[in-house]
Structures are given as structure tokens and as C-alpha cells.
């Protein structure tokens, strides 16, 4: 159902969403009757991203679908609205984390190294590609976690590494332990964290970065995070970004609660969220 023309910002969103070749900011502004600067500011405040960022995310979604369904990479690139295959390959690391051909094969040729260990929250899995850490997941069993890991790249090779036998994985596990007070891990925390290999929109990155600034033992509301990233009306988009976080504990989406203080949602279950917050309240440094 059309949102109509009475709301120029919603109309701009509709125009971007329903066209393969997104209009320029100037064209969009002229279409909805606003100045380009005014449209840009109001659009970002409502949706948490610029018109250009929304258009890019829509096109990336079309590319992922086309790579799985089209007879060739070239067909997929043009079906998604990219005018040049070279542009996709130049940005493939940022867009997909691998080349379009590798993504089309479901990650065939890529290797995910992972380890699992038992924690008070259940089984914890940490996984990395050759570029960096790609997932920190919590679940009831290793099988459940591997199913989740395989969802994005079903054809990627998965190589189990004994806990502590991989420098990147061991460093992240030590950080998780230290964050929750499960061990001292003081020596390990002097070592810089490894890079991360995550595919995300600019808005998701802004939300996740804001989450890492919430002190241990404290919480913030979804609306407070939206305010912190300069998009006060994008509360629902903040909640979606929290739900798509794949770095449990390291990106502490468990520290975001509803305005009234109730827990809200959590990708890995509300009981785990409650236990995480209780544990952090116990071990958080207290002001003297």
C-alpha cells in the first residue's frame, strides 16, 4: 500500500525502495518538494541512514539474491542494478566479505576456523575467516551453533580448532572471560584484539559502535542509543541492528533495554540476557 504524498520523507523512502535505479538526492528532493539538505537531515533522523545508504543496502540485498539465483555472476550484477561488474569486484570485501563468485558458490573455497567451549550461559562459539573474527554465538549445543554459522555461507569449509590453539580465537575467548569476570585473563587483555570480518550497513556499524561504549554494569534504552547516533526517530531500526548483531558479549546488545527498564528482546534468549546483566552488575567496578 502506498504511503501517499502527504509525508515527503515516507514518499522518498518509497521511491528508493520501489525503483531499481535510485534517484539522486537532488532528484529525490525535487520529487518530494524539499531541499536536498532538509531531506537528507530529516531522512537520516527518521530512518537512521541517508537516502544513499538506503539505496545501497537495497541494492546489496538484490545482489545477494541474484548471486544465488542468476545463471552467472555477470547476470546477477546487472540484475541487481550495478552498471559495471568491476565496481562490484572493487568493493566485494566491503559488500560481501568475499568475491561475488565465491559468494555465489555459498562461500565455497572459504574456510571458517572455529572453536567452542562450555560457559555458564551455554555453549559459546567463536569463528574467524582469514580476514578476522566473523561470529561469536551462544547456544544450547555445538550443532545448533554450527547450523547458525552455516546459514550465510553454506558451502564454506568449517575447521574446528582446539580452544587456545588459534591466536585470534584464543584472544577473543580471553576477552569474553575477562568481560564477564569468569577469569582474570589480565595477560591476554594486553594483546590487541584481532580484526573483525563483518558484513553490515553503515547504520548497523554506528549502532554496534554505540553499544561498545555502554559501561559494564549499565544499560541504555533503545531510544537512548538512537539519540547517541544522531537518529532519534530510528528506535525500531536500532532494535533491528541489535537483533542482527553476531558478536555476542563483545558487542553488548544485552545492555540495551526498553524505556521502562524491562528487558526487551535478545537474539540469544531473555534468560541469558538477564543472567548477563546480573553478572555484569556483580563484577562491574564501583565508584568509591
- Catalytic residue IDs: 253
**C-beta separation of 223 from 235 below 8 A:** yes
**C-beta separation of 139 from 156 below 8 A:** no
Q: Please name the residue that has the C-alpha cell 561475488.
A: 100
**Strands of the 133-139 sheet, one edge to the other:** 133-139, 122-128, 111-119, 157-160
Close Cβ partners of 231 (under 8 Å, ≥ 6 residues apart): 44, 45, 46, 47, 48, 49, 203, 237, 238
CA distances from 189 to 128, 141, 161, 192, 249 (A): 19, 27, 21, 7, 15
Q: Please name the residue that has the C-alpha cell 568475491.
A: 99
Amino acid at each position: 500500500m502506498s504511503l501517499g504524498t502527504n509525508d515527503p520523507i515516507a514518499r522518498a523512502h518509497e521511491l528508493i525502495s520501489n525503483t531499481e535505479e535510485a534517484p539522486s538526492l537532488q532528484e529525490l528532493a525535487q520529487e518530494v518538494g524539499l531541499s536536498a539538505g532538509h531531506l537528507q537531515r530529516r531522512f537520516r533522523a527518521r530512518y537512521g541512514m541517508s537516502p544513499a545508504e538506503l539505496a545501497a543496502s537495497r541494492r546489496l540485498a538484490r545482489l545477494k539474491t541474484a548471486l544465488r539465483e542468476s545463471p552467472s555472476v555477470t547476470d546477477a550484477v546487472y540484475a541487481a542494478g550495478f552498471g559495471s561488474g568491476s565496481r562490484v569486484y572493487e568493493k566485494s570485501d566491503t559488500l560481501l566479505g568475499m568475491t561475488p563468485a565465491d559468494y555465489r558458490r555459498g562461500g565455497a573455497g572459504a574456510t571458517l576456523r572455529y572453536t567452542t567451549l562450555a560457559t555458564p550461559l551455554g555453549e559459546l562459539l567463536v569463528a574467524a575467516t582469514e580476514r578476522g573474527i566473523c561470529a561469536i554465538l551462544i547456544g544450547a549445543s555445538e550443532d545448533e551453533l554450527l547450523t547458525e554459522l552455516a546459514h550465510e555461507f553454506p558451502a564454506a569449509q568449517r575447521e574446528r580448532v582446539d580452544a587456545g590453539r588459534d591466536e585470534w580465537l584464543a584472544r577473543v575467548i580471553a576477552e569474553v572471560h575477562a568481560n564477564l569476570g569468569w577469569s582474570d585473563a589480565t595477560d591476554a587483555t594486553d594483546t590487541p584484539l584481532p580484526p573483525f570480518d563483518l558484513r553490515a550497513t553503515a547504520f548497523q556499524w554506528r549502532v554496534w559502535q554505540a553499544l561498545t561504549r555502554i559501561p559494564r554494569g549499565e544499560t541504555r534504552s533503545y531510544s537512548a542509543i538512537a539519540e547517541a547516533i544522531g537518529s532519534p526517530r530510528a528506535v525500531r531500526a536500532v532494535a533491528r541492528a541489535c537483533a542482527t548483531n553476531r558478536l555476542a558479549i563483545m558487542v553488548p546488545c544485552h545492555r540495551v533495554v526498553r524505556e521502562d527498564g524491562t528487558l526487551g528482546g535478545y537474539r540469544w534468549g531473555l534468560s541469558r540476557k538477564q543472567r548477563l546483566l546480573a553478572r555484569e552488575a556483580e563484577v562491574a567496578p564501583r565508584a568509591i
